[in-house]
Chain A
C-alpha cells in the first residue's frame, strides 16, 4: 500500500483537478497469515496483503457522496473521488454529515503498536502441537474439525481536506480450537475456545487448549432437559453476545431511525436491575483490539451506557451527536450513511447484592455457556429472542450437559430480572463481564 502521506498528496491533487474542495478519506491495510491443520499435517495456509479506502466528497450544494475502492494508486483514487462526486448529488439534504469537530484533537497514544510477525512454519508447528494435545486430552475426542492460528498487522488512517491526519497500527495473533467427540451409542459432542493477543508469543495456547478440552469433555455426559421455567446463569460470552444482539438500545443512529428499543427520551429511565452497569470502552487496557479513533477521526473514549440499571448514555457519531445535542463518542463508521457500533463492553456490578449465588451450591439452574444462531433467533426490534445454546444443568456443583435446547425471552425483561453479577469478571474478545444470574427464563428441551 502507498504511504499515507502519498495518499493524502495524491487525493489532494486529484480533488483539485476535479474541482473538489472538501473531502475526507478513511483507509486501512491488512497483512495477515492464517493456518489450519488436520491430523498432524498443514491443511490450508492463507496469506493476504490488501488495502482499501473510502472517500467522502462534499459538492457545491453541500451534499455528500461516497465511494470505496481497493485501488489506492493515483488513478484509483481519482476514479473513487469522481464516483463519489457523482453520488453526492443523491446525498441527503437534511442532517448532512460533516467533519468531526474532534478530528484534529491530539490523542494521547497508549497503543501497543505492531509486533514482528512469526514465520509461517512456527504457526503450523504450534497448531499441530495444539491439535495433538487436544486429541490426547480424552479418548473420545476424535478430531479438531475447526482450528486455526493467525497473525495480522493492521494499519488504519483518517485524513481530511482540512489537514486532519490520524494513523494507528496494531498487531494481533489468534487461535481457535473446536474439537469433536465420537463414542459408541452416543451422539457426537463438541466444544471450543478462542484466544487473541498482540503477538504469537503472548498467545495463551495452553489456556485455549485446556478450555476446549474441558468443554468438550464436559458435554460427553448429556441429557435432555425438561421444558419449563428455570433460573439461568449466562456465561460472560453468552451475556455479551445477547447484549451485542440488542445493542440498538444504545445506538443513537438506530434510535433516530426508529430502529431501536429506546427512544431519544429513554435516557434516565430504569431499564435494568440496579446491579447492572455497562460501559463501552474501546481503550480498556484489556482490550486487545483497542482503537484510538473511529471512522470519522473522532477519538474513542469510555462511555457509561447503563449505570445501576439506569440508561445513562448513547453511542454517537458526529451526526447523531449534533442532532441529539451531545458530543460524538468515537463510535461512527464512515459511509454514505454513517452508522454507529460499539467497541468493547465492560459489564460490572454497581451495587453490592444482598444475596449472593454460586454454581457450587445452587440447585437445578441452567448455565448457558454459548448462545447460537443469533442471526436467526433474535428479533432485535421486538426485543425477543429464542436461541439454541450450549450449556449445562447444574445442581450443587454437578454439571450435566444439555442436549438440544433453546432459551427464549424478552431482553428488556432479562435486564430487569438480573439477580446477581458474580464478582470475578472474564475477558472475552467482545468485552469484560462476570457471570450473570437471571431469575427465570423459558427453556425448551423435551
Chain B
C-alpha cells in the first residue's frame, strides 16, 4: 500500500515508491501527488509533471536496398513550476521517485523556492481518477499491431520498384517510413491526472530525376495517427504514378519569372499558406511576444469575408490529431476565423495565464525536453462556394501552385514559403510548368486577398517547428485564389 500523500516532510527522504515501470497507470498517483504537494508547500502557484515513453523506428529504402532501420527507445519527464506569470521547466531521464524529486527541487530553487522544512505538512493534492484515453479508446494494443521490421522493409522495397516502373530519367529513388509510438502521463496540482498513447506514422517517396543539366526532385509524404495498419494500406502504386508525373513535368520546367501575380493554390498541402501567414500569428505564444498583428483584433475583420478557418484537435486519422494536449486538456475544435472575423486564439496554459485567452487544448511539445506551448493541430480553411473552374476562369495571367514546400513566418508578420510544383495560368488555362518559385508577403495584407475558396477541402500531413520543438500537424484547404502576391524567382 502506498503512503498517504498527506505527510510530514521529514518522511520525504525515506520514501521509495515503486510504480509500474513499463506502463503509466494508477500506480503513479501516489508519487506524483506527493511531489505536487511538495511543490505547492514550497510556495509554487502551480506544478505539473509530464512523463513520456517513446518507441520509435524509422526505415529507409534506397533504390532496391534497405539501407537503414533505426529504432529509438526513450523515457523522460519534465516538471514545470509556475510562480506568478513566470515558469520554470526542468527535464530529466530519471523517472525514479528520487529522480523526479531532484528535478522538482531544481525547478523550485530556480524559482527562488526551497523544499518545505522538516515537519512541515504537505498539502494533499486530490488528483482526479486517471483519465485514461489510451485504455478507453483501445490504444494499449496499438504498438503490437504495427508493422514488423520485416514488413516495413518489404513494403518500402515494393514501393521503390513501383517508382522505377513509373518514372523516367531516375537518378535516385527513396522510400521512407517512420512510426512514433508515445505514451504520456500528466499530473498537475490542479488535479489533472491523465494518460494517453499517440501513434503517428508517416510514409513517403523522394524521387530525383536528371537529364543532363536538367534536374527535378519531388517529395511526397502521407501521414496518419491512430491506425496501426497504416503502412499496409499505403497506396504506393498510385502515389508512385503521381510522384513520377510531377517529376517528369518539372524536369524541363522553366524558372518562374519573378513579379506580382494572382495565384491559385491547390488544396491539401496548399494550406501551408494559412499555417504560416495566419495560424502561427493566432498562437498565444506570439501574443506574449507581441509579434502578431492580430493580438487585439478579436471580433474584428482580419481576412476576406470568404474565409473561415478551424484548428481541430480531433479529425479522424489526421496527422495532428490528439485526444488530449500535453497539459492533459481534452482537445477542442476551435473556430479561428468566421467569414473574415477573428473568433479565437490558440492557447496553452502559460499563454492563458499571460494573455487571458482561454485554453483550447493546444499545449503541445515535441518531447519531454520541451515545455508545452500553444501550437496548431489540424488547421484548415473551410470549403467555400466556388468551383475550381470559377477560380481558374478569373485569372488572365497567374500561377497555379500545385505542390507547396515549407515556409516560415518572422517576428514582424512577414511570411514566405516555397513552391515545389507550379504552372503558368494564361487566360484561365494551365499552359506550362514552372520551377523555383517562392512566395512572400505580409500576413495582414494577404488574409484580405484570399478572395475565392473552392469546395474541395483536402488535408495533408506536415511537421511544424517552433518554440516547443517539431510536432505533427495537419494543414489543409480547398483550392483558393489569392488576388496578388509577390513571387520570387529568376
Q: A residues within 8 Å of B by Cβ? A: 33, 38, 41-52, 65-72, 76, 79-80, 83-84, 86-87, 90-92, 94, 120, 142-143, 145-146, 178, 180, 187-190, 227, 257-259, 335-337, 372-373, 375-377, 379, 381-384, 386-388, 404-409, 442, 444, 446
Contacts and interface: CB of A to CB of B under 8 A. Distances in A.
Contacts of B371: 44, 46
A50 B95 CA distance: 12
Interface in B447-490: 486-490
Interface in B376-397: none
B48 to A, nearest CB: 13
B150 A406 contact: no
B86 A43 contact: yes
A128 to B, nearest CB: 12
A190 B411 contact: yes
A145 B286 CA distance: 9
B167 interface: no
A150 to B, nearest CB: 13
A65 B57 CA distance: 12
A386 B75 contact: no
A118 to B, nearest CB: 13
Given A44-B350, A336-B68, 17 more contacts: A45-B89, A46-B91, A47-B90, A51-B93, A72-B93, A90-B150, A143-B289, A145-B291, A376-B407, A379-B435, A388-B414, A388-B438, A406-B416, A406-B489, A408-B489, A444-B488, A446-B486
B87 interface: yes
Contacts of A373: 406-408, 416-418, 438
B215 interface: yes
B106 A47 contact: yes
A44 B372 CA distance: 12
Given A373-B407, A408-B258, A48 B91 contact: yes
Instruction: Bin chain B's interface residue count.
Output: 35 or more
The 6 A-B pairs at the shortest CB distance, nearest first, are namely A406-B488, A444-B258, A145-B289, A376-B418, A337-B68, A336-B68
A25 B87 CA distance: 36
Interface in B89-107: 89-93, 106-107
Looking at chain B's contact residues, is the secondary structure mostly helix, strand, loop, or mixed? Answer: strand
6 contacts: A43-B288, A69-B73, A79-B73, A336-B68, A387-B438, A444-B259
A90 B440 contact: no
B60, B92, B259 — most chain A CB neighbours (10 Å): B92
Given A50-B93, A257-B172, A381-B217, A376 B438 contact: yes
A227 B258 CA distance: 8
A15 B472 CA distance: 36
Contacts of B412: 180, 187-190
A90 B69 contact: yes
Nearest to A124: B110
A402 to B, nearest CB: 12
B71 A67 contact: yes
B408 A187 contact: no
B90 A46 contact: yes
B66, B73, B260, B442 — most chain A CB neighbours (10 Å): B73
Interface in B413-441: 413-414, 416-418, 435-438, 440-441
Contacts of B258: 227, 406, 408, 442, 444
B129 interface: no
B71 A83 contact: yes
Given A69-B73, A386-B438, A372 B410 contact: yes
Nearest to A403: B414
B87 A47 contact: no
Contacts of A180: 290-291, 411-412
Contacts, number: 223
A65 B486 CA distance: 49
Contacts of A372: 408, 410, 416
A295 to B, nearest CB: 13
B283 to A, nearest CB: 13
Given A146-B289, A190-B411, A336-B70, A376 B416 contact: yes
Given A227-B259, A337-B60, A49 B289 contact: no
B191 interface: no
Nearest to B272: A376
A389 B67 CA distance: 37
Nearest to B74: A70
Given A80-B73, A408-B258, A381 B208 contact: yes
A69 B73 CA distance: 5
A83 B91 contact: no
B192 interface: no
A33 to B, nearest CB: 8
B137 interface: no
A48, A67, A83, A372 — most chain B CB neighbours (10 Å): A48
B93 A71 contact: yes
B75 A381 contact: no
A48 B86 contact: no
Contacts of B260: 446
A79 B291 CA distance: 46
Contacts of A442: 258, 489-490
Nearest to A388: B416
B87 A44 contact: yes
A332 to B, nearest CB: 14
A392 to B, nearest CB: 16
A70 B75 contact: yes
Nearest to B411: A190
B227 interface: no
Nearest to A224: B486
B216 interface: yes
Contacts of B442: 187, 404
A343 B105 CA distance: 37
B136 interface: no
A38 B407 CA distance: 27
A278 to B, nearest CB: 23
A146 B291 CA distance: 9
Contacts of A45: 86-89, 110-111
Given A145-B289, A408-B488, A48 B436 contact: no
Contact of B76 (A70, A94, A145): A70
A50 B367 CA distance: 12
Contacts of A257: 62, 172
A187, A379, A387, A409 — most chain B CB neighbours (10 Å): A379
Nearest to A189: B412
B299 interface: no
Interface in B156-196: 171-172
A76 B73 contact: yes
A86 B75 contact: no
Contacts of B488: 377, 386-388, 405-408, 444
Nearest to B86: A42
A94 B350 CA distance: 52
Given A41-B86, A146-B289, A388-B488, A50 B76 contact: yes
